[in-house]
Amino acid sequence: MHLVRLSLLEAIELFYCGRNKRNLGAHARYELTAVLADGRPETATDRRGLQEFRDRNLTWYGQSEVKSNNLCLSFAQFNFLDTDAAVSLAAEKGDRLNELSDRQIGQLLFDVCWPECYFNSPELIIVTQAIDRLRRSKGGVITKEQAQENLRPQPGCPKCGNKMFLHYGIDEPDFWVCDYMSCGLKRYVGEQ
């Protein structure tokens, strides 16, 4: 017997659709048992008739089929339960990341990774070092004083008086943002 590992989303898709979008041509044997919301167990196997899936596709998505089972395609399109979404998203993000400047990558590290690191951990030290390097000047080695100058906060928020820090924009221009989260003031660079 050959065991195949499925993610939870793939198992749900297989349970309802009879096959997975990721492996459209595969005809693997399977047996899944699920406990439904009303408490009753239901078993799904690879021996179910195609008409069951055609009926579901017509009832749920208005897709009529005669000799096929494309329920998994409708399921992925309309239920936002695409089991390949993480792979597609990673590929899309990878292409998008290639278009960003070093400063923008540094900003992403600061926004996404830095808050997830534990205080004074090796990961925090490495991520902080990477952020500092990426947010520096456009090229070449700069001194520690120049790096600190780049990260120096603006004198103060005109709304609440707290410090403001430069945020390198990803899909918008660079802007200054107030350090005090409740204030929320944001001023684009060059804006008075």
What burial letters (b/e) apply to 107-129, b meaning 16+ CB within 10 Å?
bbbbeebeeeeeeeeeebeebee
Query: What is the total count of domains within the chain?
Result: 3
For 173-192, what is the mean pLDDT? 82
Spatial separation of the C-alpha atoms in residues 32 and 127, rounded to whole Å: 43
CA–CA dist 165, 5 (Å, integer): 47
Position 117 in a domain: yes
What value does the mean pLDDT take over residues 80-95?
59
80 & 115 share domain: no
- Residue 141 CA to residue 133 CA, distance in Å, equals 9
In a domain, 95, yes or no: no
Residue 150 has pLDDT above 70, yes or no: no
pLDDT > 80? residue 42: yes
Domain that holds residue 29: 8-87
**What is the reported pTM?**
0.42
Tokens of 70: 């494309």
Answer yes or no: is pLDDT of 119 > 70.
Answer: yes
Per-residue confidence band for 1, with pLDDT thresholds at 50, 70 and 90: very low
Residues sharing a CB contact under 8 Å with residue 114, sequence separation 6 or more, in sequence order? 124, 127, 128, 131
Do 145 and 105 belong together in one domain? yes
Is 14 a domain residue?
Answer: yes
Residue 33 lies in a domain: yes
Q: Are residues 159 and 137 in the same domain?
A: no
Amino acid letter at 119? F
Residues 184 and 131 in one domain: no
